Each structure stands twice: as structure tokens, then as C-alpha cells.
């Protein structure tokens, strides 16, 4: 590996790119399980400062209160890193980003929040866990580079 290629791998991730078929699969998973929160993982490949989703891995919600929280166990169903954990927020009163509970309980370095208060996806927000806090990532369609819908 050349020094140039080695440096590229050290750049921080700034973008999560999701191909349209994977977006459709996520949105279908969220809509099918509404009003419960849905979640899973995106198997990814790194390309410079971008994580590109290559596969959608839906995971059952194990929460005792599935309409308000998504919980699961990290086990052999999950793809190896790099991966992005995702979950939906389905209550119209929930925020479209990370909640305080999300910030404290998500162990994964990359996460995606799908805001779908009525079953249809209104917003994608990506985050990376830094040393002290979560930082927002750009989420875009893989083929066009256009930013996916995002609400604050």
C-alpha cells in the first residue's frame, strides 16, 4: 500500500452514501413495522471520506416498549465493520435526530436515524460518535450525490 492510499484511510468519515435499492429496503422495513420502531445495520465499504452502504441487514426490535425504543443485541447477525446502525423514530413528537437516550445507549460509532412518524420516511440523519460528542454526517443518495431528505 502506498503512503498516499494509507493516508486516505485515516481521513475522517464525512458522508454515508446509500444506493436507491437499499434506501427502498430501509423505508419498506420501517413502514412494515410502523408504529413500532424498526432498525438494523448497513454493511458498508469505505471510499475515502465516505461509507457506502452495500447491504441492508434488518434486525428485530427486542424492546419491551417497541413504539418508543429500538433495542437489539449485537451478535453474529451484524455485518463486520465498517457498518452503520440505523433505527426509526415513529412518534410525531420525537425528534428527527438523536435523543438523549440514543446518545447514551448506542455503542456503534456510526448511526442513522430515520424519522417516519406516520410510517413514511421524512428524514435521514447520520451521526458519528466522536471522542466527546456525536457529530452529524451528510447522508446522500449513492448514485447522484444528492443529500437525502433531512429535517432538524
Secondary structure of residue 21 in the 3-state scheme = helix
Mean pLDDT for 116-124 is 89
Ranking 3-7, 16-20, 75-79 by mean pLDDT, the lowest is 3-7
Whole-model pTM: value is 0.86
Q: State the pLDDT confidence band at 152, using cuts at 50, 70 and 90.
A: low
113 preceded by cis ω (within 30°)? no
- Residue 125 pairs with which residues in a beta bridge? 113
Mean pLDDT for 125-149 is 87
Check the CA dihedral 103-107-108-114 and report its sign.
negative
pLDDT of 109 over the 60 cut? yes
DSSP 79: P
Average pLDDT along the chain: 88
Residue-range domains of the chain with CATH:
3-141 (3.40.140.10)
The larger pLDDT score, comparing residue 93 to residue 39, is at 39
Amino acid at each position: 500500500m502506498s503512503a498516499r492510499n494509507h493516508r486516505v484511510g485515516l481521513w475522517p468519515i464525512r458522508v454515508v452514501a446509500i444506493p436507491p435499492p437499499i434506501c427502498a429496503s430501509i423505508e419498506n422495513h420501517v413502514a412494515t413495522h410502523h408504529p413500532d420502531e424498526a432498525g438494523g445495520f448497513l454493511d458498508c465499504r469505505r471510499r475515502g471520506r465516505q461509507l457506502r452502504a452495500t447491504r441492508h441487514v434488518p434486525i428485530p426490535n427486542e424492546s419491551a416498549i417497541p413504539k418508543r425504543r429500538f433495542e437489539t443485541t449485537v451478535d453474529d447477525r451484524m455485518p463486520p465493520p465498517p457498518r452503520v446502525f440505523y433505527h426509526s423514530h415513529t412518534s410525531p413528537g420525537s425528534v428527527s435526530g438523536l435523543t438523549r437516550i440514543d446518545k447514551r445507549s448506542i455503542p456503534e460509532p456510526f448511526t442513522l436515524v430515520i424519522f417516519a412518524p406516520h410510517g413514511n420516511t421524512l428524514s435521514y440523519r447520520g451521526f458519528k460518535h466522536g471522542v466527546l460528542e456525536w457529530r452529524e454526517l451528510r447522508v446522500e443518495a449513492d448514485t447522484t450525490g444528492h443529500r437525502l431528505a433531512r429535517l432538524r
